[in-house]
Amino acid sequence: MESDNVDEIVHSQLFSSSKTPHNNNNKNNNSVRPATSVHELLECPVCTNSMYPPIHQCHNGHTICSTCKERVHNRCPTCRQELGDIRCLALEKVAESLELPCKYGSLGCSEIFPYYSKLKHEAMCNFRPYNCPYAGSECSIVGDIPYLVAHLRDDHKVDMHSGCTFNHRYVKSNPREVENATWMLTVFNCFGQYFCLHFEAFQLGVAPVYMAFLRFMGDEIDARNYSYSLEVGGNGRKLIWEGTPRSIRDSHRKVRDSHDGLIIQRNMALFFSGGDRKELKLRVTGKIWKEQQNPDGGACIPKLCS
């Protein structure tokens, strides 16, 4: 690690409480148009979502999804008649014959799916928006990566840095105040990608710990192309962690609860801090590199960014 490529940032009191799709190349536009009007019939009048079996109807033929049937206390929202337990089997059968485009078509997905397979695909579609990866609050913002990067910078005031090496010092005057404090430190831009470095304190069982980990702003399959290392130490001792960054498709809590990162027990953290052990002073260094396949067919070889 070259010192001129390393940014040192000091943070004081940083803790805040906390596919097998059908291809549409051979489909013409006429195969999609008739489905549009029928698709409107499959829209629940209460929640406006697409209805899936069991689809219920009242004696007058008005339909409703099974979830909303309970919400309206078994009364038809259209005619106020009792719904009972009548299934609209005809509409369920019609739905089986439909093929509809993915709802993320405007974001780039061009696939067409049978009606009952569409929902499953959309839950895993690579073009679906990402959730905001900020860990310090329950942020409801979703969007593509460029939008989220701007959102993190402008709305969450997250530090943005270029380069694949880092050197951070965490300072906290009262390290005994843990209480699941969490904070997302920095977004790094390297290899044309964005990475989120997290550092936080939480209770692991009855023991307070500190944890640092990296998340990749993209899908898991692309995250596997990268590796990272984290190192913390002091008083002649050090801990080193190496791993693959997790995709932001995995929630911050999921990554944290899987302990997939550098975990430092509080007693060890205070030992690294030196002095009277009453103030936390941790220096965390690290780097990100890209795994490249050896042209001779051998093992992957790391590539550091320039």
The pLDDT tens digits of the residues spanning 58-80 come to 999 999 998 999 889 888 999 99
Q: Which residue has the higher pLDDT, 256 or 17?
A: 256
* Nearest one of 166, 163, 143, 167 to 155, comparing CA atoms: 143
For range 218-239, the mean pLDDT:
93
157 or 184: which leads in pLDDT = 157
**Whether the predicted model's global pTM rises above the 0.75 cut:** no
Q: Hunting for tokens 């801990």 — which residue is that? A: 239
**What mean pLDDT, rounded, does the chain reach?**
81
Written as six digits, the tokens of 232 are 């913390």
DSSP 36: H
Residue 212 has what pLDDT? 92
Instruction: Tell me the torsion sign for CA atoms 80, 82, 88, 92.
Output: positive
Report yes or no: 51 and 43 within 8 Å, Cβ to Cβ: yes
> What's the confidence (pLDDT) of residue 83?
87
State residue 300's pLDDT score: 53
Task: Judge whether 144 and 174 are in contact, CB under 8 Å.
Answer: no
Task: Read off the pLDDT of residues 7-58 as tens digits, 9 standing for 90 and up.
Answer: 444 444 334 333 333 444 444 444 444 445 777 888 999 999 888 889 999 9
Q: Which residue has the higher pLDDT, 110 or 26?
A: 110
Rounded-to-integer distance, Cα 83 and Cα 190, Å = 58
Looking at per-residue pLDDT, the higher value among 215 and 16 belongs to 215
Residue 149 structure tokens: 């990067």
Q: In the predicted model, is pLDDT for residue 118 greater than 80?
A: yes
Query: Is it the case that residue 295 has pLDDT exceeding 60?
Result: no
Mean pLDDT within 269-293: 83
Question: Does the structure show a pLDDT above 70 at 304?
Answer: no
Q: Please tell me the predicted confidence (pLDDT) of residue 27.
A: 42
Angle separating helix axes 89-96 and 115-124, nearest 10 degrees: 60
- Per-residue b/e over 81-99, b at no fewer than 16 CB within 10 Å? eebeeeebeebbeebeebb
Per-residue confidence (pLDDT) for residue 303, from 0 to 100: 63
Look at residue 74 in the predicted model and tell me its pLDDT.
86
Q: Does pLDDT of 306 surpass 70? A: no
Q: Which pLDDT score, from 0 to 100, does residue 292 have?
A: 74
Q: Percentage of the chain with pLDDT > 90?
A: 43
Can you tell me the mean pLDDT for 230-253? 92
